[in-house]
Structure 1
Amino acid sequence: MRSPAELDRVQWHALTHAYGSAEDVPELIKALYQDDEETADEAIYELYGNIHHQGTVYSASAPAVPFLAHAVRHAPNKRAELLMLLAVLADHAPEDVDSPHWPSSSVAAVCAELCRALPELLFCLEDTEREVRRAALRVVAAVAELLPADQHAPVVAQLDGVYATDPVPAVRADAVVVLARFGREAAAVDGPLPEVRLAAAMLAVARSGPPYPADLVDVIAEDGAEPDPGDDDFPWSGTATQEEQLRRLLTEDPDAGLTVAARWIAAGDIGSRGSWLAEEIAGTWRDREPAVLDLLLAALPQQRNPRALASRLHTIGHLIEYLREPDADLRDTLYRYAAGADEETAGPALLALVRSRDPRALEQVLHRPTSQLLAAAARHFPEAADQLIPVIRGELAAGATGNEGIALVEALAPFGAAAHQALPELVVCLRTRSAAIVAARRLGAIGIATRETIDLLCEAAQSSDLALRAAAAVAHYQLTGDVEPALRTFEGLLSGAGQTHWYLSALEPLGIAAAPLLPYIEPMLGARYEWTRMAAAEALHWITGSPDHAVPVLVDLVGPTPVGVRALKALAATGQVPEELRPTLRSFAFSPLRLIHDSPLSGQDHPDEELRTLARTLLAAP
């Protein structure tokens, strides 16, 4: 330990933290000793932000450790907070110590300082405050595998004492976890304390790996239903809480995870823990949607507030499209919530009902239209054009702007030729520059040329908004057949700097007419930016009809990423499936794990499902 009197012996100006020079660290450390609690709190907050910033430590971090250890002893009002700061400063993955970079790393220096200071911090394991004892256990755990051998015995002896005598079961459970870091199995899963049984079961399943033994799963289901109220304040290594570690373990074995989720939901879904676990499994593993939706349906009555209920309904709406025929009970439940008076829950319930293709949803949408609901209804009920298009027109005429206006215009796409009914509203969008880009695209697709439309498109093709310029130029060609203005527009767009792949992606309607642009496009096949290479290959195939130059570029880009899915889609359009790609396609098609994450709140299609479908389509090709 080092007292504040020694702070000037460190060349802080020569050290750095997250925001540059560490010259401010001494004053922050001195502030820890102030009687003013607000000042001390602010100092701890600042230290968390500079010598430890988003999981990173710096050259000033290790020199601060002995001073922080001294403050632990002499600033008792902030003991727990300071201990946790020391623990997170030393946080590292156990395998990191084998790295050739470890000896010279900042985190290695922090750990070395903490190992030296640890004997003088062990008194905190007997502190009267449970928060201090829990924090002290995290400090020991942070450097357990790095302690010199001669320190093991006294440290383990104190840990044994905590496990045997501490009056708080959660602290005893923490001691079990720390003892395991020293190779000691201290507790059995059939002990008298549920907190300890849970900790022992978690350690056991981590050792065994999936599939987990049924008796351990049973312990977790029984003893883990209610969260530790102080868990968030005391993360373990990796800054993960016990709750996060438990969810990760259960997600690795989906059968065990769903079993536990069902038990937790049946026990009241406290803190929505069972629901969250089920949702995590659906986001990690393929083809678990039916089981997860059954669990979420059972969990709906257990949600404690409208926000939690709305979250569950959002997830149901995201997953329900995976089902060919959603269950009648699920649809009936969604209908009841959708017809309710609480808009926070009625909105997501109705959206889920629309995505379930339930006919009752259409009437509800027509009575309570929003841009999101109308877009979903158009996608799932394209046969209802005569009912939906007038409502979409009305919303546009009422002045919908921004993302709402864009969603309304895009909602017209599933209706094909019937979308011509909205021609007046689309013209207004183009004139007022509200959702103008998507309006220009829709006008081009509808194919009805009027003098006003042509004039507006010519004007938009000169816009300072380059994306609008591209969309208007293409639409002008679609309506007039005159390609020269479009060619001039794209010559300028493709010869300039910026996101050229956006403009390349607009070229498909031009087809062979865009051939004069090939000298601009072909060099982009070797562009540094992967989206540009993908869009160039895609455009090259649209224009020439030949896959020869496009396929090698697309094959190189294929992968479980957004650009990889787009490349796969473009490859499918070529009809070419190189033999060397088939093993990759099989891994995409048959992986039990999701290869691309889906977000229930994204409002987008499921990219992992698109990846799998495209892979299967290409594998079926000759």
Structure 2
Amino acid sequence: MRSPAELDDVRWSDLAHAYGPAEDVSELIRALYEDDEEAADEAVYELYGNIHHQGTIYQASAPAVPFLAHAVLHARRKREDLLMLLAVLADHSPDFVESPHWPGSDVAAVCAELCEVLPELLPCLGDPERGVRRAVLRTVAAVADLLPDELRALAVEQVDALYADDPVPAVRADALVVLNRFGRVLEPLDSPLPEVRLAAAQLAAERSGPPYSPELVEVFAEDGAEPDPGDDDYPWSDSVTQDRRLTGLLGREPDVALTVAARWIAAGDIGSRGSWLAGGIAEKWRDREREVLDLSLAALPHQDKPAALLRTIGHWIGHVPDPEADLRDTLHRYASADDETAEPALLALVNSRDPRALELVLERPTARLVEAAARHFPEAADRLMPVIRHELAAGATGNDGIALVQALAPFGTTAAVAARPELVDCLRTRRAAIVAARQLGSIGVRTPEITDLLLDATRSSDPSLRASAAVAHHRLTDDPAAALRTYEELLSSKGQTHWYLSGLEPLSSAAAPLLPLIEPLLEARYDWTRKAAAEAHHWITGSPDRAVPVLAGLVGASPVGISALKALAATGRSPKDLHPALRSYVSSPKRLLPDSPFSGKDHPDDELRTLSRMLLMIG
């Protein structure tokens, strides 16, 4: 353990942390001793960002350990935070200790320093502050596999005393976890303390794996309904809290998880635990949406701020062919309110395809709601078109403008023709210009104004707009010159060429002069580029022979794999050697792909399954 007087003995400027030379570490540690709470807060924040940055440690991390330990005992400020910093700095997998990379590694140096100072930190296990006791337990746990026998025995003895006598149940539960880290396998499922029972059940489930015994499931359901208020402040290894570990365990058995979620919701859905657990099951497992929606409906009355749960409902309700009337009626009540719940509830009602949603959208339209309504109610073009045109004419920009232009697509060419003045203005003023150019190219109405605007856009500094405008110009004029010139420039430049290649389909064989630039990309290092090049080669030549091997090699449970599946389906070919993988994509009960904000309107895992079925039918 080293005092601040020794800080200058370390050549911090010769050591590195996350942001370069670590010369600021000494001043940050000194700030912990100053009579300035704000400065101490800032110092701890900075130390968490530089000597431990997003789970990574550095050369300067180990030399800081003895100074941080001294600050825990003598600065008497931010002790919990500093103990947790020591714990996360020393976090490691016991398996990693056996690897050839352990000796000389930064984490090995941190652990060695922590083992040296731990005897002086162990008295913190008797600290009157419960938070300090919880934090030091995690510090002990971080190096439990590395302690020499004598220190190990001392640590076990003191942790055992906490487990037996601490007045705070959460501390006893933490002590139980640490004892198990030391190899003391305890399963006190009959403890009078629910916190201890729950910790014991989690430890037993981690050891046994699924399927979990009914006894464990009962403990999860009964004792897990109320969250530990300090759980987020005291994570364990890998910065995972005990609560996250529990939901991860439950997520391995969907039936158990939904049973437990139902019990937690019935107990009041405290902290939205039950509804959050249920929503996670829909994301991890296929075909559980209806059960999750039923639980979400049951949880809504317990929410102080239901907007988040309404967004979850809106996300999954479109996956159910015929949502229950009770759920739709509830959404209608929320959507009719005049508060922050109205919009997420109305979007969910639109996604449920309930006809009452259309009336509410028309009363208070937003771009996102109008776009969703157009997608789900294409028969309502005569009612939605005036709204779309009005909002575009009023100057909608950014994502709103894009959504409104995209809302025209479900209504077909007639609607786009009717909105031609607004689309022209979007292109002229560069509002949602890329999607406006595509729409103008698709409607088949050629005027000098439109073609001049498109030609001008091919000289834009935005390469995506240049590509879209060039293709649209060709579609209206049948003259490929501008498109060929634009694409030759784009494909000859460095950058994400796959974004441009994906728009070449309308040119078809007219793009043949570009083949010398496209064919080398069939062997590009970047997966997306190879996919786009193969797809474009098929469009241009009409032959799938070059495309199919490239696309088949990219098929997989990934975003580029799904895109390759779509392109492969368009070729009408389904190589036999892909069929085992395709069958596994169809039959998996688990989702093989997560959703993301960038995945579009459909869940990517649903696309994977649908496309795999289609290709198996082709085969």
Normalised to the residue count of structure 2, the TM-score between the two structures is: 0.97
> Aligned residue for 2:160?
160
> Aligned residue for 2:594?
597
Residue 600 of structure 1: CA displacement?
7.3
Q: Deviations over 1:418-462 (max 9, x none)?
A: 222111211111222211111111111111112322222222223
Structure 1 36/466 Cα, relative in aligned 2: closer, same or farther at 3 Å?
A: closer
Q: Which amino acid aligns with 1:398?
A: A
Q: Distance in 1 between matches of 2:6 and 2:468?
A: 67
Q: Distance in 2 between matches of 1:607 and 1:219?
A: 35
> Aligned residue for 1:510?
507
2:145 counterpart SS class: helix
> Aligned residue for 1:536?
533
> Aligned residue for 1:436?
433
Is the contact between residue 141 and residue 181 of structure 1 (CA under 8 Å) also seen in structure 2? yes
Q: Distance in 1 between matches of 2:539 and 2:418?
A: 30
Q: What does 1:398-437 correspond to in 2, within 5 Å?
A: 398-419=394-415, 420-437=417-434
Is the contact between residue 315 and residue 600 of structure 1 (CA under 8 Å) also seen in structure 2? no
Q: Distance in 1 between matches of 2:434 and 2:300?
A: 40
Q: What does 1:38-437 correspond to in 2, within 5 Å?
A: 38-305=38-305, 309-342=306-339, 344-419=340-415, 420-437=417-434
Structure 1 211/460 Cα, relative in aligned 2: closer, same or farther at 3 Å?
A: same
Structure 1 601/451 Cα, relative in aligned 2: closer, same or farther at 3 Å?
A: closer
Is the contact between residue 314 and residue 600 of structure 1 (CA under 8 Å) also seen in structure 2? no
Residue 603 of structure 1: CA displacement?
6.2
Q: Distance in 2 between matches of 1:35 and 1:42?
A: 13
Moved more, 97-106 or 437-446: 97-106
Question: Is 1:4 the equivalent of 2:1?
Answer: no
Q: Deviations over 1:76-96 (max 9, x none)?
A: 233222211111111122322
Q: Distance in 2 between matches of 1:27 and 1:488?
A: 59
Is the contact between residue 314 and residue 601 of structure 1 (CA under 8 Å) also seen in structure 2? no
Moved more, 541-550 or 429-438: 429-438
Residue 470 of structure 1: CA displacement?
1.5
Q: Deviations over 1:580-601 (max 9, x none)?
A: 2112212221222212111479
Equivalent of residue 501 in structure 1, options 498, 503, 508: 498
Q: Structure 2 regions of 5+ residues with no counterpart?
A: none
1:522 counterpart SS class: helix
Residue 97 of structure 1: CA displacement?
1.8
> Aligned residue for 1:568?
565
Moved more, 422-431 or 119-128: 422-431
Q: Distance in 2 between matches of 1:347 and 1:601?
A: 21
Residue 409 of structure 1: CA displacement?
0.6
Is the contact between residue 493 and residue 503 of structure 1 (CA under 8 Å) also seen in structure 2? yes
Residue 16 of structure 1: CA displacement?
1.3
Q: Distance in 2 between matches of 1:9 and 1:432?
A: 63
Is the contact between residue 551 and residue 571 of structure 1 (CA under 8 Å) also seen in structure 2? yes
Q: Deviations over 1:505-547 (max 9, x none)?
A: 1110111121121111111111222211111111001111111
Q: Distance in 2 between matches of 1:2 and 1:456?
A: 71
Q: Which amino acid aligns with 1:369?
A: P
> Aligned residue for 1:470?
467
Q: Which amino acid aligns with 2:473?
A: H
Residue 243 of structure 1: CA displacement?
1.3
Q: Deviations over 1:445-496 (max 9, x none)?
A: 1111123222222222232322222212211211122222222222222222
2:67 counterpart SS class: helix
Q: Which amino acid aligns with 2:349?
A: L
Q: Distance in 1 between matches of 2:370 and 2:135?
A: 52
Q: Distance in 1 between matches of 2:29 and 2:458?
A: 61
Residue 38 of structure 1: CA displacement?
2.7
Residue 7 of structure 1: CA displacement?
2.7
Equivalent of residue 479 in structure 1, options 473, 476, 480: 476
Is the contact between residue 91 and residue 237 of structure 2 (CA under 8 Å) also seen in structure 1? yes
Is the contact between residue 524 and residue 536 of structure 1 (CA under 8 Å) also seen in structure 2? yes
Q: Distance in 1 between matches of 2:520 and 2:600?
A: 35
Structure 1 280/600 Cα, relative in aligned 2: closer, same or farther at 3 Å?
A: farther
> Aligned residue for 1:30?
30
Q: Which amino acid aligns with 1:509?
A: P
1:102 counterpart SS class: coil
Q: Structure 1 regions of 5+ residues with no counterpart?
A: none
Is the contact between residue 29 and residue 68 of structure 1 (CA under 8 Å) also seen in structure 2? yes
Q: Deviations over 1:265-289 (max 9, x none)?
A: 1111111111111111111111111
> Aligned residue for 1:19?
19
Runs of 4 or more consecutive aligned structure 1 residues displaced over 3 Å after TM superposition = 599-604
Give the length in aligned residue pairs. Answer: 618
Is the contact between residue 385 and residue 418 of structure 1 (CA under 8 Å) also seen in structure 2? no
Q: Distance in 2 between matches of 1:81 and 1:456?
A: 60
Q: Distance in 2 between matches of 1:120 and 1:604?
A: 57
> Aligned residue for 2:447?
450
Is the contact between residue 314 and residue 352 of structure 1 (CA under 8 Å) also seen in structure 2? yes
> Identical aligned pairs, as a percentage?
71
Q: Which amino acid aligns with 1:619?
A: L
Residue 396 of structure 1: CA displacement?
0.8
Is the contact between residue 585 and residue 615 of structure 1 (CA under 8 Å) also seen in structure 2? yes
Residue 222 of structure 1: CA displacement?
0.8
Structure 1 7/484 Cα, relative in aligned 2: closer, same or farther at 3 Å?
A: closer
> Aligned residue for 2:549?
552
1:48 counterpart SS class: helix
Normalised to the residue count of structure 1, the TM-score between the two structures is: 0.97
Is the contact between residue 33 and residue 77 of structure 2 (CA under 8 Å) also seen in structure 1? no
Q: Deviations over 1:58-90 (max 9, x none)?
A: 111111112222222222233222211111111
